[in-house]
């Protein structure tokens, strides 16, 4: 069956790799919608190559340029996501790929789920911030989420058919570029050093999160909601080679693992072709070349973000949204060299301490909480 797809965040790391997967399977997909924010040149090239019906742009300047450049083509360019539900319906979608970074990627995913459209989800923030709301919508519409995040794709593939016998999840983490640094050295690292990920090539925000281990923290919350496993039974394990992408532990003592090269095109392809598994020409794993697979305990004293995420997840309600928003701002501040690397967990923790959780909330309330946490994080930084 040919699938009509919308690729949100087509100009990013996941977006570009998704298009590489589509190039491998040209007859299986029609790109109906692409979207971007500031990377006009790349969005224009993609529009000319894939001829989607819609290009959605969320940045005003980019919109003006694209509208002009694409005026002679049968491609509609729209500014912002207000009309996204209408656009989804008009192009008769089979699958939305959520690959925008940060909380900005949540509304377009929720809109798809509300319409009963399945989502291949890279944007982990959707689950971290709005996990309960997502589940409520899925119950109502039956829309499925097929995880793209490599660890969750691994777990998804190791789970199928045996969900009831699961005793735990082991989420692998590369440990990032600073795994072996001392606490003193960690205080002095720069954004350039943090962006040098040892095994994966990804967008800036998630790469910094890998260095602080916040990425693993967000992934633990993501796994809790996606697979209905209690936090007590989800553990992170450092695996510097990034070959084992995660493991599922079963009550009978079996451990099922998913292995592969650190290449996001593999989980992206699985999410796109699911429930089928297809061949491709991408490089394949040769374990004789890898030789060693190590597994180590994470150091949560040096990398406090992991425990902050457990704390936010266990408190639940609006706290994961606070964790995420404060972290987005702290990472931005670190990237601008306004704060040091070890100030990231400090700021996140302080914002969490100030938050009074709300137990009854809808998505609008979550947006308010997100806004509050961002402002609070900046205020605390100004007082530092």
Ligand X SMILES: CC(=O)[C@@H](O)[C@H](O)COP(=O)(O)O
CB nearer to ligand NDP: give 243 or 264. Answer: 264
Q: Are the beta carbons of 205 and 215 closer than 8 angstroms?
A: no
| Residue 222 binds to ligand X (criterion: CB under 6 A) | no
Binding residue for Mn ion (CB under 5 A) from 81, 149, 209, 376?
A: 149
Please check if 294 is assigned to a binding site. Answer: no
Binding residue for ligand X (CB under 6 A) from 174, 273, 324, 327?
A: 174
CB of 32 to ligand X, least distance (A): 26
Which tokens go with 156? 């998804």
Q: What is the DSSP string of 294-313?
A: --B---TTT-THHHHHHHHH
Please check if 370 is assigned to a binding site. Answer: no
| Residue 150 binds to ligand X (criterion: CB under 6 A) | yes
| Residue 18 binds to ligand X (criterion: CB under 6 A) | no
Could you give the 3-state DSSP secondary structure of residue 147? strand
Convert 63-86 to b/e letters by CB count within 10 Å (16 or more is b): bebbbebbeeeebebbbebeebbe
For ligand NDP, the binding residues (CB under 6 A) are 9, 11-15, 36-39, 58, 99-101, 104-105, 122-125, 149, 200, 202-206, 264
Partner touching 345 among ligand X, ligand NDP, Mn ion, none, CB below 5 to 8 Å by kind = none
Which tokens go with 265? 């095109």
Which tokens go with 82? 């207000």
CB of 200 to ligand NDP, least distance (A): 6
Partner touching 176 among ligand X, Mn ion, ligand NDP, none, CB below 5 to 8 Å by kind = ligand X
Burial class (CB in 10 A: 0-12, 13-18, 19+), 184: exposed
CB of 195 to ligand X, least distance (A): 12
Contacts of residue 277, Cβ cutoff 8 Å, sequence gap at least 6: 270
Distance from C-alpha of 168 to C-alpha of 150, rounded to nearest angstrom = 18
Q: Are the beta carbons of 93 and 1 closer than 8 angstroms?
A: no
Please check if 318 is assigned to a binding site. Answer: no
Residues in touch with Mn ion (CB under 5 A) = 149-151
Show binding-site residues: 11-14, 38-39, 123-125, 149-151, 174, 197, 203, 210, 215-216, 219
Show binding-site residues for NADPH: 11-14, 38-39, 123, 125, 203
Residues in touch with ligand X (CB under 6 A) = 149-151, 173-174, 176, 200, 206, 210, 215-216, 264
């Amino acid at each position: 069956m040919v699938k009509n797809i919308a690729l949100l965040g087509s100009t990013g790391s996941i977006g570009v790799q998704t298009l590489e997967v589509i190039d491998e399977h040209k007859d299986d997909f029609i790109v109906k919608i692409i979207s971007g924010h500031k990377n006009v040149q790349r969005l224009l090239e993609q529009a000319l190559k894939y001829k989607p019906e819609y290009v959605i742009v969320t940045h005003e300047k980019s919109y003006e340029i694209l509208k002009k450049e694409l005026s002679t083509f049968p491609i509609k360019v729209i500014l912002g996501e207000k009309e996204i539900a209408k656009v989804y319906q008009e192009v008769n979608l089979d699958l939305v790929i959520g690959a925008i970074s940060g909380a900005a990627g949540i509304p377009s995913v929720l809109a798809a789920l509300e319409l009963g459209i399945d989502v291949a989800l890279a944007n982990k923030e959707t689950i971290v911030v709005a996990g309960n709301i997502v589940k409520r919508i899925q119950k109502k519409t039956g829309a499925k989420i097929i995880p793209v995040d490599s660890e969750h794709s691994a777990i998804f593939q190791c789970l199928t058919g045996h969900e009831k016998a699961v005793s735990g999840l082991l989420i692998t983490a590369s440990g990032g570029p600073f795994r072996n640094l001392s606490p003193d050295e960690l205080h002095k690292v720069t954004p350039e050093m943090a962006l040098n990920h040892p095994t994966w090539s990804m967008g800036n925000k998630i790469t910094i999160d890998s260095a602080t281990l916040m990425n693993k923290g967000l992934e633990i919350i993501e796994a809790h909601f996606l697979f209905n496993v209690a936090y007590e039974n989800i553990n992170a394990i450092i695996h510097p080679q990034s070959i084992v992408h995660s493991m599922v532990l079963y009550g009978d003592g079996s451990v099922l693992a998913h292995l592969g090269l650190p290449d996001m095109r593999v989980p992206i392809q699985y999410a796109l072709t699911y429930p089928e598994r297809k061949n491709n020409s991408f490089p394949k794993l040769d374990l004789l070349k890898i030789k060693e697979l190590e597994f180590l305990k994470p150091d949560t004293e040096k990398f406090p973000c992991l425990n902050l995420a457990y704390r936010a997840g266990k408190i639940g309600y609006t706290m994961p949204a606070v964790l995420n928003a404060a972290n987005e701002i702290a990472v931005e501040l670190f990237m601008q060299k306004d704060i040091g690397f070890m100030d990231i967990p400090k700021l996140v923790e302080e914002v969490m301490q100030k938050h009074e959780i709300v137990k009854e909330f809808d998505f609008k309330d979550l947006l308010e909480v997100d806004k509050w946490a961002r402002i609070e994080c900046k205020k605390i930084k100004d007082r530092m």
